[in-house]
Structure 1
Amino acid sequence: MPEPTPSVGRVVHYVSHGTPVREDGSQAFPPKCRAAVVTEVDDAEPYRVGLAVLNPTGQFFHPLAAGGCMADFTEQQGGTRHWPGRV
């Protein structure tokens, strides 16, 4: 089944980058899923969107003008977005 096409106003999950991995392999804050709202969709690349990310410490914006945010439906790497799981 193909992934849905994003549209303005849809809720997605944004994966935060977390803190850098230390020399001993530990990480103070690992990547986490955060709620985000699609604010714009790239016409040429519909899987690249602008986001308003809702974090416990405040809101962060990833507009298309600054590179936007790409989809990652498999590995969910930091700095990417994916659809929330169904519950």
Structure 2
Amino acid sequence: MKPTVGRIVHYVSYGTPGGEYSSQCRAAIVAGVPEGALPAADTEHAQEWESDAIVLDLAVLNPGGMFFNRCPQSEPIHRGGTWHWPEREGI
């Protein structure tokens, strides 16, 4: 699938270090597909992400409000601070 502006994806929250809040999937709307963002160019975390991870600008919907973030894709592991395609259930 190709990400485009307006598509719905899942953002994975980090959770809290003390475990008060766990890492969870949140609904997110693709707000932008940055030019040259394929693959991820985050040198700090480059070895943590898949080499073909797609970076997106997201509007993340949380129960307490919205926030905006640029983050890489992480399909198989769903790490905090990443996005992935929603799982298909019952289709």
TM-score, scaled relative to structure 2 = 0.77
Deviations 1:2-43 (A, max 9, x none): xx12110000000001001x4xxxx11110000000000022
- For residues 44 and 85 of structure 1, what CA distance do their matches in structure 2 show? 27
Deviations 1:19-69 (A, max 9, x none): 01x4xxxx111100000000000221241110000000101111xxxxx11
Q: In percent, how many aligned pairs have the same letter?
A: 47
Q: Is it true that 1:51 corresponds to 2:58 in the alignment?
A: yes
- Where does structure 2 lack aligned partners over 5 or more consecutive residues? 39-53
- For residues 66 and 5 of structure 2, what CA distance do their matches in structure 1 show? 17
Matched with 1:19 is 16
Q: Is it true that 1:10 corresponds to 2:17 in the alignment?
A: no
TM-score, scaled relative to structure 1 = 0.80
Aligned to 2:29, what secondary structure does the other structure show? strand
Moved over 2 A (4+): none
- For residues 18 and 5 of structure 1, what CA distance do their matches in structure 2 show? 28
- For residues 69 and 7 of structure 1, what CA distance do their matches in structure 2 show? 15
CA RMSD of aligned residues (A): 0.9
Q: Is it true that 1:61 corresponds to 2:58 in the alignment?
A: no
- Where does structure 1 lack aligned partners over 5 or more consecutive residues? 63-67
